[in-house]
Amino acid sequence: MTELGHVVLYVHNLERSVAFYRDLVGFQTVGEIDPSVMKAAIFSSGRTHHELLLLEVGEDAAEIPAGRRVGLYHIGLKVGENDDDLREVLDRLNNSDARVVGSSDHGVTHSLYVLDPDGNEIELFIDVPGVDWKNPASMMVPIKPLKL
């Protein structure tokens, strides 16, 4: 394996989720699939052909179960290079109806945690400049409250 290629999420409402991932998170819309075949949207950060695919399953689809369960916990998305970039993202989130559910200083990253419109937890982070993340010790530091 050489890299994580893409993530595919089922969503209740495609338009609502497109607005979240495009306008708040900053993904570029690559395209949408013909709605007569399937309601879906494709996104890229510009790194590759696509990193995120959203598939609409309708408002009546089952919700994500709350609490401890097997399955996806969160997706981490790098949103900039420094704390100023992370502050800009936080401002966008605070000026929307997005639900920020946490923040952390992991030593190697500074992270915000937000729920997408369907309840998927998304980590929006920056790598802390100057930290050698290849050194295993840098990944084992205690998590601290984030001070932006």
Q: Tell whether the model's pLDDT for residue 32 goes beyond 90.
A: no
Q: Which residue has the higher pLDDT, 133 or 129?
A: 129
Residue recorded with tokens 């840098």: 138
Mean pLDDT of the chain: 95
- The answer as to whether 77 is a domain residue is yes
Split at pLDDT 50, 70, 90, the class of 113 is: very high
Q: Is there a single domain that holds both residue 78 and residue 124? A: yes
- The answer as to whether 66 is a domain residue is no
- The answer as to whether 65 is a domain residue is no
| Cα 19–Cα 21–Cα 25 angle in degrees, nearest 5 | 115
The CATH number given to whatever domain includes residue 28 is: 3.10.180.10
Check: pTM over 0.85? Answer yes or no: yes
The per-residue b/e assignment along 62-97, b for 16 or more CB within 10 angstroms, e otherwise, is: eeeeeeeeeeeeebebebbeebebbeebbebbeeee
User: CA-CA distance, 46 to 105, in Å (whole number)?
Assistant: 27
Amino acid in the structure at residue 116: D
What is the number of domains present in the chain?
2
Q: Is there a single domain that holds both residue 81 and residue 51? A: no
Q: Is there a single domain that holds both residue 104 and residue 135? A: yes
Q: Is there a single domain that holds both residue 89 and residue 141? A: yes
Last residue of a domain, one of 29, 59, 89: 59
| Cα 128–Cα 144–Cα 118 angle in degrees, nearest 5 | 80
Mean pLDDT of all residues in 32-49:
92
Q: Is there a single domain that holds both residue 87 and residue 32? A: no
Q: Is there a single domain that holds both residue 77 and residue 148? A: yes
Highest-confidence segment of 68-72, 83-87, 131-135 = 83-87
Residue 35, pLDDT score: 86
Q: Which residues constitute the domain of residue 54?
A: 1-59
Going by their DSSP bridges, the two strands 121-127 and 28-33 should be labelled as unpaired
Q: Is there a single domain that holds both residue 79 and residue 40? A: no
Residue in 81, 95, 92 with CA at minimum distance from that of residue 125: 81
